[in-house]
Every structure is written in structure tokens, then in C-alpha cells.
């Protein structure tokens, strides 16, 4: 009969506690990085947030009559997506971030509020958002954006066109 | 579910109640001071407060979707993510109209709990315009 090695409870507890502490630390690190990236994006610098995506990343956005519609495959398409974000003078705030899964395949859920102002009319766009992000070894591979109201995006698009802010295309 | 955080268990019961079209458990699941936020463009949209508001939201949802949903469409396919006093749920809104048009879109709802009950719920949709397109055309249909 084989004898199982005894489970060393203090080691096991230390391991569990270590894993939980690592998850908390990772969550804080990611939150800090996302806050820095979004702060830079708000100032018109999309380079930092773009670097978080893998070369084959896919961002899926609601269909509709607006410049962000549909699926965006790969870095070039994502760069256009963020250029349009910056050109539309959208400003975002991360409210919360939740991290699930192992480090090599994390799922991030980001509660994000975005808004845009026009010099004459003040606020012309506001939405509450949840961004669902899947990563592979720390790089974003998939992103889905969910909105409190996607019709506000189409209305915002119409306002941007009135203001002469054309979409940045291929 | 074993080892499920109690917050997830509460929200799971909520999803089961919606799938089963059973409003009774919702009075226990939702706090009497609950605030439910839904896209204002939808027929059951806006901010709904308290149990009265919860009932308005739930019956509005059923009125809009029930006749467009098969038994399978009613399955919400929820995935739960717990985070402290909040639970995020990715689920699917499915429906079929008689003329062949259909929607099958993901959504994310965020629930905040207090004292074991849902005190705040906010729905985030992938495409409210697509949902409205189906519901509004059906409502306008003879």
C-alpha cells in the first residue's frame, strides 16, 4: 500500500493565501495600468493602450450607423478605432475593474463611463459601459463593449458629422 | 452550485426566476429600495425604483419579449463573475419574429448587493438599437 504524503496544512494555507494575495496584487496592478492608459487616451495619446493588445486582437462593438461599428481585427484596425475615439474628444473614466481566471488567460470586466463635450453646447455624449476583456499572457486578445444605450452612439455620430468631425478611415 | 459566493447564488436565483417567468422570488431577491437602470430607449427602459418599479420593469420586459421568444430563447445562458458586493453577468437576449427576423445578442448586467439582496441593477446591452428594432416593429404590427 502506498502512503500518501501528509498534507502540510500550514503550507497549504500559505499557498491559498499567496494565490489570493497575488490575485489582489494583479488586480491592483492592472487597474493602475488601465487608469494610466485611459488618462493618456483622454489626453489624445492612444499608444499606451494600443500596446496592451495582441497583434491578432479582436474588438467587437455594436453595429450601427457610426464610425466604431462592427468588429475590428488586428492592430491597424484598433489604431483607427482609437484615433476616432481621440478625434471625437471622448473622455473615459474607469469606475471598477474585476479580474478572473489564471494569469495566462485572464478575464477583465471594466466598468467604464465615457462622455464627450463640444465647446458650444457642453456635453453631447454620455454613456455607462461595461468592457469585457480576455487576455492571453497579459495581452488583450478579445474585447466586447456593452452600453447602457447604444442609440446614444448613433446620435453622437450625427452630432460629430454636424460639427465636421469626419471619421478616420482606412 | 457548490462553493459559489452567496452573492452569485442570489443573482443566479434571479436569472432562474426570469427564465421561469416567476415573479414571486423577485420580491425576496430585490431589496425594497432597489434601483434598476435600463436603457431608456427600450419599452421597459428608464430608472425603476423599489418593488413597484421592479414589477414595472419585469412585466415590461415580459410584455416586450414573451411573444417573441421560444422556450429555448428564454434561456439566458448566464455566466457569473463575482467581485465583492457586486456580481457581473454576461447573458444572451434571444428572440424570433414571425417574419424570420431574429436577435441573439450578448448583454452584461451589473448587480450590487446589500444584506443578501440586490440593491442596484444596471443593464448594459450590446446593441439596444437592434433590440428596439425587433420589439418596436412587433409592437407596431397588426
Q: What is the mean pLDDT of residues A96-123?
A: 87
pLDDT band, very low/low/confident/very high, at A30 (cuts 50, 70, 90): confident
Of A4-8, A60-64, A126-130, B119-123, the one with minimum mean pLDDT is: A4-8
pLDDT of residue B142: 39
pLDDT of residue B44: 94
Residue A117 CB burial class (10 angstroms; 0-12, 13-18, ≥19): middle
Note whether B88 contacts A109, CB cutoff 8 Å: yes
pTM: 0.82
pLDDT of residue B92: 96
In 3D space, the residue among B96, B94, B92 whose CA is nearest the CA of residue B106 turns out to be B92
Picking from B40, B125, B129, the nearest residue to A146 by CB comes out as B125
Q: What is the mean pLDDT of residues A25-52?
A: 89
Question: pLDDT at residue B108 above 50?
Answer: yes
**Chain A hits for B128, Cβ within 8 Å:** 147, 149-151
pLDDT band, very low/low/confident/very high, at A10 (cuts 50, 70, 90): low
Chain A residues 28-57 with CB within 8 Å of chain B: none
Mean pLDDT of chain A: 87
The residue to which cell 466598468 is assigned? A111
Asked if residue A81 lies in contact with residue A59, where contact means CB atoms within 8 angstroms, the answer is yes
The DSSP annotation for A107-128 comes to: EEEEEEEEEEEETTTEEEEEEE
Say what percent of chain A tops pLDDT 90. 59
d(Cα B21, Cα B28) in Å, to the nearest integer? 15
Question: pLDDT at residue B141 above 50?
Answer: no
DSSP classification of residue B31: E
A21 CA to chain B: closest CA distance, Å? 15
Mutation target vs A (from B106, B129, B132; most A CBs, 10 A cutoff): B129
Picking from B40, B108, B127, the nearest residue to A130 by CB comes out as B108
B21 CA to chain A: closest CA distance, Å? 24
**In the structure grid, which three cell numbers stand for residue A166, read together?**
469626419
pLDDT in tens, B54-81: 999 999 999 999 999 999 999 999 999 8
Nearest chain A residue (CA) to B108: A146
Mutation target vs A (from B127, B130, B132; most A CBs, 10 A cutoff): B127
Q: Output the CA–CA distances (angstroms, integers) from residue B122 to A54, A71, A111, A119, B66, in the order listed.
A: 31, 25, 11, 31, 21
pLDDT band, very low/low/confident/very high, at A170 (cuts 50, 70, 90): low
Q: Facing residues of A140 across strands?
A: A53, A135
Cβ count near B47 (within 10 Å): 12
Picking from A96, A148, A154, the nearest residue to B37 by CB comes out as A148
End-to-end CA distance of chain A: 70
Asked if residue B86 lies in contact with residue B60, where contact means CB atoms within 8 angstroms, the answer is no
d(Cα A126, Cα A131) in Å, to the nearest integer? 15
Amino acid at each position: 500500500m502506498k502512503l500518501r504524503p501528509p498534507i502540510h496544512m500550514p503550507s497549504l494555507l500559505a499557498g491559498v493565501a499567496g494565490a489570493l494575495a497575488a490575485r489582489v496584487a494583479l488586480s491592483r496592478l492592472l487597474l493602475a495600468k488601465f487608469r494610466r492608459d485611459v488618462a493618456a487616451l483622454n489626453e489624445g495619446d492612444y499608444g499606451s493602450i494600443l500596446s496592451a493588445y495582441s497583434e491578432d486582437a479582436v474588438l467587437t462593438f455594436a453595429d450601427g450607423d457610426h464610425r466604431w461599428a462592427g468588429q475590428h481585427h488586428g492592430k491597424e484596425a484598433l489604431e483607427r478605432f482609437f484615433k476616432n475615439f481621440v478625434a471625437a474628444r471622448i473622455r473615459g473614466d474607469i469606475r471598477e475593474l474585476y479580474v478572473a481566471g489564471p494569469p495566462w488567460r485572464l478575464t477583465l470586466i471594466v466598468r467604464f463611463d465615457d462622455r464627450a463635450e463640444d465647446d458650444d453646447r457642453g456635453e453631447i455624449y454620455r454613456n455607462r459601459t461595461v468592457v469585457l476583456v480576455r487576455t492571453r499572457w497579459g495581452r488583450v486578445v478579445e474585447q466586447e463593449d456593452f452600453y447602457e444605450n447604444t442609440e446614444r452612439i448613433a446620435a453622437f455620430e450625427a452630432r460629430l458629422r454636424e460639427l465636421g468631425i469626419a471619421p478616420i478611415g482606412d | 452550485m457548490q462553493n459559489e459566493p452567496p452573492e452569485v447564488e442570489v443573482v443566479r436565483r434571479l436569472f432562474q426566476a426570469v427564465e421561469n417567468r416567476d415573479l414571486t422570488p423577485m420580491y425576496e431577491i430585490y431589496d425594497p429600495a432597489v434601483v434598476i437602470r435600463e436603457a431608456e430607449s427600450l419599452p421597459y427602459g428608464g430608472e425603476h425604483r423599489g418593488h413597484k418599479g421592479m414589477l414595472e420593469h419585469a412585466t415590461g420586459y415580459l410584455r416586450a419579449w414573451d411573444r417573441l421568444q421560444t422556450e429555448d430563447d428564454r434561456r439566458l445562458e448566464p455566466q457569473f463573475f463575482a467581485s465583492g458586493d457586486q456580481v457581473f453577468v454576461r447573458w444572451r437576449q434571444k428572440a424570433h419574429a414571425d417574419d424570420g427576423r431574429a436577435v441573439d445578442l450578448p448583454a452584461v448586467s451589473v448587480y450590487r448587493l446589500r444584506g443578501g439582496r440586490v440593491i442596484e441593477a444596471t443593464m448594459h446591452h450590446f446593441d439596444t438599437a437592434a433590440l428596439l428594432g425587433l420589439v418596436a416593429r412587433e409592437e407596431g404590427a397588426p
